[in-house]
A and B are shown apart, each in its own frame.
Chain A
């Protein structure tokens, strides 16, 4: 029996390991790191080229950011308008305050259709509410139809990226999964052949399964329309062939006007896959007689989003259009891949979105999964200042922790409290310096460096050396110098900057 695609990934934030531990599994898997780096390099190069050719890129980013901000500012009225127009066009709108309610609504809708199977378009929102396992346990098999999602579903893997969910899997691994699960012994590992195998595997399912589940990229308030952006055509299949379509969508996905798409579509494809435009974008409004599903339901999901909306500095998190540009730009993701984030939303956006969706009760290590280099903010097509939100979240995590009784004796907090005392008075600080110098002598080697420290200090010296303390502090030197102006001999040369 071949192993499944990953041995340790757990994308439920309530159960996942903290980021530093989870990342270790990936750091010890050179094949996975190679797969991730290769994919990221390709997307990054394509994106950079196409963004550079777009003369009005910065203006488009500003416009996209403003459109998303405005949508959030008046979110309530926009959602009501969407509901109105969609219902008038023959659609049905449902509201789910949390994941459990959304799952139940979808299951009830499937049961009304006596459905035992459903075809699915890739939707991260359904992964967020863990829809597939829920449906499975209630007798409904959900078939993923996006190529990457098929790879993961058949290989029993978890997504590691929001646009290219199987980017951690290489062609020979895909070949192995398809050969085993589709019974194709002589399948080659040529991507063309693998893609053809997926096409053949799904064709009959598209033509016969009468129920589909999708996500959505945008909801248009003005018209009550839904838009889906895709590449393969599996989306169009799911949107046109079945009799029943259930669309699960986060409440933040609303856009005020149809015309807003002129900006959003221009920035989305370039940011996501480095294409001028993705092959297919579909927009539909309720039900159209003679064309597509005649039974159409939208499930609007809150699941923590309204609480993010309520916090002014955090609200920008909801502007996200799930392009994954931040993920591709992130030096941390590049090393760890997606599974370490313990959530279906990895990378910088995941590091700010996941803890907030969990009401800061889980995933508290994620705001630290960043070097704060700002690359994510620079590429974000809707200008989410991710580092700013990361810092906000870090301060919340600290505030949570320091009031916990257990943390009272935590070496780090203990150390910080002592530092607080020492830094409060100059004499205490100087005393600590003198004592520290004596103490440090015990550990300083002849080369002037400290190579290993005992106890908690070892955490620092485990990965880096520490320079030994100098025999004299600057203050001491300065005081000595001021006291004996006649002895300038020891004064080191002073470098003065050239006047501008």
Chain B
């Protein structure tokens, strides 16, 4: 391991020599200046923007009230024509609507996740401006595999979780989490002649229920 330890020192020494004096490079403009941190839309307009953006990504969005949520979930699951769903361990019990086969992730094997047909999760937050759903992988959002292997993902968002801009999301994060996944629409590629194709390896279908709380 000696040569590797030496390389560490060697590289750090080179960098130190290269960056001194600190003023060697041209001074840069102030980074905090200028860009939009806080959105200017009303909450209603902001939610509307989110729905529009998600739909542009080919995600399906429906709205619901807290009381009607279980029924809305049941409708979505039934419409998917799928039967076997995985759910993160911390998903609220009321969301596990009857009539479907639920696999709760208390250490499911990769095989069990792979052979389920859909997944239902919560989210940490959503950013309207870019149509992005943010997962911090809390118990109700599940570990990363859950929202990756199944072909169909239903994400439940509360309207209070929606912010307008990316910087607003970052200002909501007190302590940076160890794991984050930013999801903007279903998996896609444009590698063949720049033709956008939905669904490569991640879920091909992304559904969102927006709950007005």
Contact = CB atoms under 8 A, between A and B. Distances in A.
Interface string A285-306: 1101011100000001010001
Contact of B201 (A55, A66, A232, A288): A232
Nearest to B168: A262
Contacts of A62: 29, 31, 33-34
B187 A279 contact: yes
B31 A67 contact: yes
A368 interface: no
B125 to A, nearest CB: 13
A73 B180 contact: no
A370 to B, nearest CB: 22
A39 B193 contact: yes
Given A62-B33, A105-B4, A232-B201, A277 B130 contact: yes
Nearest to A229: B182
B15 A76 contact: yes
B27 to A, nearest CB: 9
Given A199-B200, A258-B173, A171 B192 contact: yes
B195 A191 contact: yes
B178 interface: yes
B191 A151 contact: yes
Nearest to A292: B144
B11 A95 contact: yes
A194 B180 CA distance: 31
Interface string A274-287: 01111111111110
Interface stretch (B18-26, B60-68, B76-84): B18-26
B93 interface: no
Given A39-B194, A195-B189, A237-B201, A288 B179 contact: yes
Interface stretch (A162-170, A414-422, A459-467): A162-170
Contact of A290 (B4, B131, B143, B191): B143
A309 B184 contact: no
A57 to B, nearest CB: 9
Contacts of A258: 170, 173, 176
Interface string B117-140: 000000000000111100001000
Contact of A69 (B16, B25, B148, B190): B25
B185 A59 contact: no
A239 interface: yes
A261 interface: yes
A236 B190 contact: no
Contacts of B179: 283-285, 288, 291-292
Given A258-B176, A266-B130, A237 B184 contact: no
Interface residues of B, number: 70
Contacts of A43: 194
Contacts of A148: 191
A38 B194 contact: yes
Contact of B11 (A56, A231, A300): A300
Nearest to B37: A262
A66 B178 contact: no
B192 to A, nearest CB: 4
A202 B187 CA distance: 15
Contacts of A232: 187-189, 200-202
Contacts of A203: 201
Contact of A147 (B167, B178, B200): B200
A374 interface: no
Which of B24, B144, B183, B192 has the largest count of A CB atoms less than 10 A from its CB?
B192
A315 B197 contact: no
B31 A63 contact: yes
B129 A276 contact: yes
Given A76-B15, A306-B11, A147 B189 contact: yes
A56 B189 contact: no
Contacts of B31: 62-63, 66-67, 70, 263
A146 B8 CA distance: 31
Interface in A378-429: none
A344 B167 CA distance: 34
Contacts of B194: 38-39, 42-43, 164, 167
A276 B53 contact: yes
A435 B184 CA distance: 71
A209 interface: no
Given A258-B176, A276-B130, A291-B143, A66 B184 contact: no
11 contacts: A95-B10, A151-B192, A207-B114, A222-B176, A236-B144, A240-B143, A277-B132, A279-B184, A280-B187, A292-B143, A312-B24
Closest 9 CB pairs of A and B: A233-B202, A59-B34, A66-B31, A310-B18, A233-B201, A306-B14, A277-B184, A232-B200, A42-B194
Given A277-B130, A306-B18, 7 more contacts: A66-B31, A195-B199, A236-B201, A239-B144, A241-B145, A258-B176, A312-B24
Interface of A: 35, 38-39, 42-43, 55-56, 58-60, 62-63, 65-67, 69-70, 72-76, 79-80, 89, 94-97, 101, 105, 145-148, 151, 164, 166-167, 169-171, 174, 191-192, 194-195, 198-199, 202-203, 206-207, 220, 222-223, 225, 231-234, 236-237, 239-241, 251, 258-259, 261-263, 265-266, 269, 273, 275-286, 288, 290-292, 300, 302, 306-307, 309-310, 312, 315-316
